[in-house]
Amino acid sequence: MEKLHFGTDGIRGRVGEGAINPEFVLKLGWAVGRVLAGENAGKVVIGKDTRISGYMFESALEAGLTAAGIDSLLLGPMPTPAIAYLTRTLHADAGIVISASHNPYHDNGIKFFSADGTKLSDEVELAIEAELDQPLVCVDSSSLGKAERIGDAAGRYIEFCKSTIPSRISLKGVTIVVDCAHGATYHVAPSVFDELGAKVISIGVTPDGLNINEQCGSTHPEALQRAVLEHQADVGIALDGDGDRLIMVDHKGEVLDGDELLYIIARSRMSEGRLEGGVVGTVMSNLGLEVALKRDGIDFQRARVGDRYVMELLMRDGWMLGGESSGHIICLDRTTTGDAIVSALQVLHAMIRSSLPLHELKSGMTKYPQHMINVRINGKVDLAGSAPIQAAISETEAQLGGRGRVLLRPSGTEPLVRVMIEGEDGAQVVALTRQLAAAVNEALSA
């Protein structure tokens, strides 16, 4: 059965359109309560980021869960990975996050964690969708759920983050600029690094409900780059609106994406003898990451785009480290989901342990030139079954001569096919991408 509402990371869209409205979210809360707790009374943790619509959807979810006989533990604005952690430590049946991650304020979404702090399985999501088709039936008044606000949630999560690096590691003498994207980490991230001894300069920490991710955070690191250079900081840390993506800036103002950060963490762990298995990236991970890891004898595998698919491969092979170019990094030996603060601490640990600046730590990996063109489509397309497209791909790969790679991928959220090529020669990569995109567009038009 195909899912109608759930995407690769919950349900997301523009507020007031489609499923992102209070009536649907109320029904969703009820359906989640019915599926996850069944006939038994249970409790669900609810957190949110700082966008203005979060108040509305928090109330709607609470009402739906209450009608299903489920208690709500309200955390207020908290990072997505904090919800995963607190769902486990508060022994809740599930965790719900109200967030549209790195999207602008006018979008919002709902995503879920199971009782063990991992994303819901496809089977559970399908069960929730099936329940949404049923009429909402309120439990007897004596069995209604209750709501409780958890006042010490931020403190609990701060202590957890600090515990993910050895207690002997101090950040004393390190100057860090932290950009919280006016999002859910604004009252958490600066405290973590400050309590570990760093000198912290905070930006993006004045959310007003409308400025989340606006020209700041992991998707817009320019403000962080300027601040690092202005304050002559050792490192800059950019988080996204819900705190699960990480981009960093070195002391020269150069940006490090998720691939480079993953490489640094993997190399550091290997040198300590703590790298369990290999590293999982995605089909979008830069070829330079794969080449650098394999040169160092570290296995590398590619998953589909989406942290849930990275997690699937990690769990299948018993590996501990994976992530995406966007900065969504999973350290399974530390936590159960992508966590920007925890990932940043792993990079800082590598810096302190090696006594090397971030700029030097990244030098072992050379990113390959990469170019992508989006080709618009009407409806679903069968790329593998199109002879002209497959012939064009083969011709492009022959021109690359084994010194690059070709990727065609339908977008999961837009009517587009993403045509991407990587290779050693940047000019050739751009030319071949344009050539292949034109061939794909011609084949699809025909």
Q: What positions carry a catalytic annotation?
A: 101
Give the chain's length: 446
Chain-centroid distance, C-alpha 81:
9
Nearest Cα neighbor of 279 from 337, 243, 329 is: 329
- Give the chain's largest Cα–Cα span: 71
Kindly state the tokens that stand for 165.
């690096």
In the beta sheet, which residues pair with residue 282?
303
> What is the CB neighbour count within 10 angstroms for residue 268?
19
Q: Using the structure block, give the residue that is written with the tokens 């971030």.
A: 358
Using the CB atoms, write b or e for 5-34: b if 16+ within 10 Å: bbeebbbbbebeeebbbbebbbbbbbbbbb
The span from the CA of 381 to the CA of 385, in Å, is: 9
Residue with tokens 């980490």: 185
Q: CA–CA separation, 272 vs 441, rounded Å?
A: 49
Measure CA 167 to chain center.
27
Residue 98 · residue 109 · CB < 8 Å = yes
Please list, in sequence order, all residues whose beta carbon lies within 8 angstroms of the beta carbon of residue 438, skipping any fewer than 6 positions away: none
Q: Which stretch of DSSP H or E encloses residue 321? A: strand 321-323
Cα–Cα distance measured from residue 187 to residue 242, given in angstroms and rounded to the nearest whole number: 12
> In sequence order, what DSSP letters do the residues of 396-445 get, joined into one string?
HHHHHTTSEEEEEEE-SSSSEEEEEEEES-HHHHHHHHHHHHHHHHHHHH
Euclidean distance between CA atoms 76 and 153, whole angstroms = 9
Residue 44's DSSP bridge partners are: 72, 94
Q: Are the C-beta atoms of 65 and 41 separated by less than 8 Å?
A: no
| 8-state DSSP, 10 | B
SS3 of residue 182 by DSSP = coil
> Taking a C-beta distance cutoff of 8 angstroms, is the pair 369, 432 a contact?
no
